[in-house]
Amino acid sequence: MSSSRVPIDKQSRNAYLAQINVAKAVRKTGQDAGIDRTLVELINIRVSQINGCAYCLDVHVRDAVAQGESAQRITVLPAWRDTSLFTAFERAALALAESVTTLPDARTQEQDYLDARAHLNPDQLSAVCWIAITMNAFNRISIVSRHPVRPGADAGDRQRPASVERATV
């Protein structure tokens, strides 16, 4: 059965390349704010878990492991609030990323930002928001385009969007 979906990354190439450029700018924003790569990958994974994007989970779990993240922390990430494996800084970033992704009511959002400000400076707060926003966009691109993860595929064998560069924050 063929899909009725259009791979929007291929069909509207210029728009997709613009999104790649956004990802590059967000990556630099995170670096400039002092957000560690492993935390960026944890945010990417958590946002992708919430959105149910198997392709992005495959990409970012592999990237997190390559950055030295432990299997234990990746495994318990959906329950990060119930473990002591994450620092206060990481917890603040994850809570804010979840809030940006799920868009709770205004009062809850305001509390999430207030809580995050206790651990993140304004540059870090902004960077975490942009990381989550960008990952949400790539989740949607992947899901809309139905980019599959084939069983047993390794990093070079995954069916990536047809981009000149890798689409990642």
Above 80 in pLDDT, residue 120? yes
What is the domain extent for residue 91? 12-145
* Domain count for the chain: 1
Whole-angstrom Cα distance, residue 103 to residue 127? 17
Domain membership of residue 153 (yes or no) is: no
CATH number where 47 lies: 1.20.1290.10
Whole-number average pLDDT of the chain: 91
Which residues, including other chains, have CB under 8 Å from residue 164's CB and lie 6 or more apart? 17, 20
Residues 123 and 31: beta-carbon distance below 8 Å: no
Task: For residue 127, count CB atoms less than 10 angstroms from its CB and return exposed for 0-12, middle for 13-18, buried for 19 or more.
Answer: buried
* Long-range contacts, 15-20 (Cβ 8 Å, 24+): 16/141, 16/161, 16/163, 16/167, 17/163, 17/164, 19/137, 19/138, 19/141, 19/167, 20/163, 20/164, 20/165, 20/167
Domain membership of residue 2 (yes or no) is: no
Please state the pTM of the whole predicted model.
Answer: 0.89
3 Rama sector, left if φ>0, alpha if ψ -120 to 50, beta otherwise: beta
Tens digits of per-residue pLDDT, 11-64?
999 999 999 999 999 999 999 999 999 999 999 999 999 999 999 999 999 999
Which residues, including other chains, have CB under 8 Å from residue 102's CB and lie 6 or more apart? 50
The pLDDT assigned to 169 comes to 84
Domain membership of residue 29 (yes or no) is: yes
